């Protein structure tokens, strides 16, 4: 099976186009990571200015997605890439879609934080949600790093860590459901926090999708519907 071999073209211009595409995806990833960080700060501090920043950045994220899609279409039409070059273009198309969705979830968190206002359900709940937010933010940062390095092993490691996000989501959900059952007057605020947790869980899922694209790019195998144990067992095989 064809493994990853970039920067091996007769045309230096084609090399430059692929390198520029990779940089542009990483730049979009950095923008989305910043958007998520600001959304989590808005949630922790209930800061309306930070919420406005997140919403404003959404336009830049959407513009990046359109620009990268156009660049990929142009490369496909002009260069008719094959093998690992084609995988890079296809992986980038899929990755920017997931990055844009992460931006959507960050915006949702920011808007929910504004809706919550000064309502305080207690440190127990906010700390657990902050823990989940920190884990998801680290997951996104690490996932982008796997793409920058084209590192299949790190991508597999990040795939495994998605389980930690799922465990925390179940814990947060159980705590908030219990709160709503005991104190009916707190249901609206607890539901908003629950939606924040759900948005973070979805971001974790999107990071998993990004890691799968890195594995596809490096290994030449689509693992989107493959169990993690089978994916791990095939690591390193050509």
More confident residue, 161 or 236: 161
Supply the DSSP string of 177-201, one letter for each residue. Answer: HHHHHH-GGGHHHHHHHHHHHHHHH
Q: Which fold has domain 12-233?
A: Methane Monooxygenase Hydroxylase; Chain G, domain 1 (1.20.58)
Question: pTM higher than 0.85 for the full model?
Answer: yes
Q: Inform me whether the pLDDT recorded for 201 exceeds 60.
A: yes
pLDDT band at 10 (very low <50, low <70, confident <90, very high): low
Domain layout of the chain by residue ranges? 12-233
Supply the DSSP string of 59-98, one letter for each residue. Answer: HHHHHHHHHHHHHHHHHHHHH---HHHHHHHHHHHHHHHH
User: What's the pLDDT score for residue 123?
Assistant: 84
Nearest-angstrom CA–CA distance, 112 and 128: 17
Positions of E strands within the chain: none
Alpha-carbon dihedral of residues 73, 74, 78, 80, nearest 10 degrees? -30
In a 3-state reduction of DSSP, which class is residue 205?
helix
Cβ distance 210 to 147 under 8 Å? yes
Mean pLDDT for the stretch of residues 162-190: 95
Mean pLDDT for the stretch of residues 112-134: 89
User: What's the pLDDT score for residue 235?
Assistant: 47
Nearest to 42 by CA among 112, 101, 103: 112
User: What's the pLDDT score for residue 231?
Assistant: 56
Write out pLDDT tens, residues 65-103: 999 999 999 999 999 998 889 999 999 999 999 999 999
Average pLDDT, the chain: 90
pLDDT band at 9 (very low <50, low <70, confident <90, very high): low
User: What's the pLDDT score for residue 221?
Assistant: 83
Q: Inform me whether the pLDDT recorded for 236 exceeds 70.
A: no
Nearest to 227 by CA among 200, 204, 208: 208
User: What's the pLDDT score for residue 46?
Assistant: 87
CB atoms inside a 10 Å sphere around CB 173: 15
Cβ distance 84 to 150 under 8 Å? no
User: What's the pLDDT score for residue 119?
Assistant: 84
């Amino acid at each position: 099976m064809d493994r990853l071999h970039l920067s091996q073209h007769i045309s230096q211009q084609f090399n430059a186009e692929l390198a520029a595409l990779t940089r542009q995806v990483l730049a979009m990833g950095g923008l989305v990571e910043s958007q998520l960080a600001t959304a989590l700060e808005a949630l922790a501090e209930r800061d309306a200015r930070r919420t406005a920043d997140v919403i404003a950045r959404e336009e830049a994220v959407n513009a990046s997605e359109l620009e990268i899609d156009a660049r990929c279409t142009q490369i496909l039409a002009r260069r008719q890439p094959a093998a690992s070059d084609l995988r890079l273009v296809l992986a980038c198309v899929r990755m920017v879609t997931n990055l844009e969705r992460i931006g959507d979830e960050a915006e949702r968190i920011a808007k929910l934080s504004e809706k919550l206002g000064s309502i305080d359900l207690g440190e127990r709940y906010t700390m657990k949600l902050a823990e989940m937010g920190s884990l998801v933010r680290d997951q996104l940062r690490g996932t982008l790093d796997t793409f920058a390095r084209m590192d299949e092993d790190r991508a597999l490691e990040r795939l495994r860590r998605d389980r930690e996000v799922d465990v925390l989501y179940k814990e947060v959900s159980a705590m908030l459901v219990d709160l709503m059952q005991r104190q009916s007057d707190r249901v609206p605020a607890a539901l908003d926090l629950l939606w924040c947790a759900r948005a973070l869980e979805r971001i974790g899922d999107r990071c998993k999708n990004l890691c799968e694209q890195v594995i596809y790019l490096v290994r030449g195998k689509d693992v989107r519907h493959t169990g993690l144990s089978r994916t791990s067992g095939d690591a390193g095989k050509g």
